Structure 1
Amino acid sequence: MKKFLSKPYRWAAIYSIILTVTITYTLLDTFVLPKSLADASIVSSSKAAPADSSGSSSTETSINSKSQSEAAVTDNSYEDENIKITIEKDRKYDSNIYIADIQVSDPSYLKTALANNTYGRNITATTSVMALENNAIFAINGDYYGFRDGGYVLRNGVAYRETARSGDNDALVIDKDGNLSVVPEGEVSLDSLSDQGAWQVLSFGPGLVVDGEVVVNSSSEVSKAMSSNPRTAIGQISELHYIVVVSDGRTSESAGLSLLQLAQELKDRGCTVAYNLDGGGSSTMYFNGEVINHPTGGRNMGERKVSDIVYIGY
């Protein structure tokens, strides 16, 4: 062995092998290997919901079940005494666009969920699978928090990640009253947001509409993204009244939207605040048991597995 190691090039070979193994493991650990950091169901059980969505009595559960059983449902609408959703498909900017108009009677019906009900790295599921597991009436992909090491993660009142992203980034806050706001992530701590009533915080961005005005321009874009993409965004018109826009993209049939086009669509529909969520192959709209858009990353058709969803349901 001593004679073997006496040759300098052999030390170089050993070093190269060690370096390759280390890099390979780091890449697998970052992008492939699932790593659970918290069970959302256990953590959330100790937190009070903003209204009546947790710790519900049997009477409340019965009322919710009755509401769903008496709901008026069509291919593009859902309505019961608490939730009203209307979906339309539009054709603009050489793209197919899906718009959901959502009204709820209580902020507790606007929810989020994590893949496998677990917070962690590389823990993913499709939007439709998460929607089915949570009995969602309507769902979209969230911010894919698991693809990054930074960015606030607050879900259902529980803080999972308190590290802000570096640089100039916007976060979406949904407070206990169901109101949306866009905040500069690097200028406010997650603790202070929680103290101010934040119930959900998602970190993707950028903000699209603030105080009724478009806040992106023709040169705005998510890092490393093309100028036209599949998109997912959520906006608010008024109290408990929301607009969700999902666009197809990266195909010959549907080019996709720029951030400016997306923002203008939300503003034109009356949103006073709107925010860009994860897009590209993640962009998915689920309604009444079906995926109604055509998710694709440009190479493969079908849903991408993601970390989380935003949904409407009981």
Structure 2
Amino acid sequence: MRHFFHKPYRWAILFTVLLLMSNTYVLLKAFVIPEKQLAIAATKTTTSNTATASTTDATKESTSKATITDTSYQSDDLSITLTTKRVEDTTVYVVDIQTNDSSHLLTALAENSYGRNIKETTSAIAEENQAILAINGDFYGFRSTGFVMRNGILYRDTANGDTDALVIDKNGDFSIINEQTTSAKNLTTAEQILSFGPALVEKGEVVVNQSSEVTQSMTSNPRTAIGQIGENHYVIIVSEGRTESSEGLSLYELAQEMQTAGATIAYNLDGGGSSTLYFNGKVVNQTVGGSQNSSEREVSDILYFK
């Protein structure tokens, strides 16, 4: 072995191999190796197993009494109506949701864990949480910055620059904040914080223009967005795209559809290959972001109603 390193070029070979191994590990850690991480703070007491079981039983009972069709769900405390339309050569799904209180609006993490490279499909997370309606969230795991709060637990308080974030408070009301000028820890009434954006509608007015776009995104894309119409009254819009039958929507077109649907405030979530709409036990839209045998992309999180 000692004689091997007498040749200078052999040191160069060894250095190159070690450098390649180091770079490979960094890439695997960043994009492949799952790594669970801890929450920063909780704004509410963790629900006990007994309370969770009671909530699950109540949900099952409510679902068993509900009237369900391919385009609707109707129970005493939750009403959902799905409408399909064509906009700009694109299939667009508009979902109107009305609840009797904010407890029906929830979020969930893949594998019920926060961290890097922890992913499942939207439909899998939805089924695990007995969701009636679900959409993909902000794919927080794709970035190392951006506020992350889920169901009252703050996981990340590092701002993603000058980014719009959606805050959903304990009453289920929406507001838009700027991460650069806001401290996540000071949002004491927040229940959910999602960081993707931008905001689409505020005070009933479209707040993006025809040149607005998500960084590195094409003009027309599959899209996912959520808005609030009034107290415990919400709207979700998911558009198809990147297919022969659907071109996709621009952010401006998406915002216009939100305004038409009656949203007073609306927010753009992760789109493109992540865009997924799950309703009454199945994926409704044509998804395009998956790999291997599935067209549904695995994501970090969902937003759902139950």
Counterpart position of 2:193:
201
Structure 1 residues 270-304: Cα deviation after superposition (integer angstroms, max 9, x where no partner): 11110000001110000000100001039986110
2:97 aligned with 1:93: no
For residues 151-230 of structure 1, what are the structure 2 equivalents within 5 Å? Answer: 151-166=146-161, 168-193=162-187, 195=188, 197-230=189-222
Across the aligned residues of Structure 1 and Structure 2, the Cα RMSD in angstroms comes to 2.3
Asked whether the equivalents of residues 198 and 267 of structure 2 are also in contact (C-alpha less than 8 Å), the reply is yes
Counterpart-to-counterpart distance in 2, 1:17 and 1:219: 46
Counterpart position of 1:269:
261
Shift of 1:3: 4.2
Counterpart-to-counterpart distance in 1, 2:27 and 2:252: 34
Counterpart-to-counterpart distance in 2, 1:213 and 1:3: 75
* Pairing partner for 1:102 from 97, 109, 132: 97
* AA in 2 matched with 1:311: Y
Structure 1 residues 151-174: Cα deviation after superposition (integer angstroms, max 9, x where no partner): 1110110011111113x2111100
* AA in 1 matched with 2:31: F
Identity of aligned residues (%): 53
Shift of 1:64: 4.1
Q: Secondary structure at the match of 1:264?
A: helix
For residues 1-314 of structure 1, what are the structure 2 equivalents within 5 Å? Answer: 1-38=1-38, 46-47=45-46, 55=51, 58=54, 63-166=58-161, 168-193=162-187, 195=188, 197-297=189-289, 302-313=295-306
Asked whether the equivalents of residues 250 and 297 of structure 1 are also in contact (C-alpha less than 8 Å), the reply is no
Unaligned runs of 5+ in 1: none
Asked whether the equivalents of residues 290 and 298 of structure 2 are also in contact (C-alpha less than 8 Å), the reply is no
Alpha-carbon spacing, 1:299–1:223, altered in 2? closer, same or farther (3 Å): farther
* AA in 1 matched with 2:305: I
* AA in 1 matched with 2:163: N
* AA in 1 matched with 2:97: I
Shift of 1:65: 3.6
Shift of 1:56: 6.3
* AA in 1 matched with 2:12: A
* AA in 2 matched with 1:151: G
Q: Secondary structure at the match of 2:114?
A: strand
Asked whether the equivalents of residues 100 and 245 of structure 1 are also in contact (C-alpha less than 8 Å), the reply is yes
Stretch moving more, 65-74 or 17-26: 65-74
Asked whether the equivalents of residues 236 and 271 of structure 1 are also in contact (C-alpha less than 8 Å), the reply is yes
Asked whether the equivalents of residues 290 and 297 of structure 2 are also in contact (C-alpha less than 8 Å), the reply is no
Structure 1 residues 5-33: Cα deviation after superposition (integer angstroms, max 9, x where no partner): 34332222222111111111111111111
Structure 1 residues 81-113: Cα deviation after superposition (integer angstroms, max 9, x where no partner): 100000011101110101100001110100000
Q: Secondary structure at the match of 1:55?
A: helix
Alpha-carbon spacing, 1:61–1:4, altered in 2? closer, same or farther (3 Å): closer
Alpha-carbon spacing, 1:125–1:62, altered in 2? closer, same or farther (3 Å): closer
Q: Secondary structure at the match of 2:22?
A: helix
Shift of 1:226: 0.7
Counterpart-to-counterpart distance in 2, 1:254 and 1:237: 27
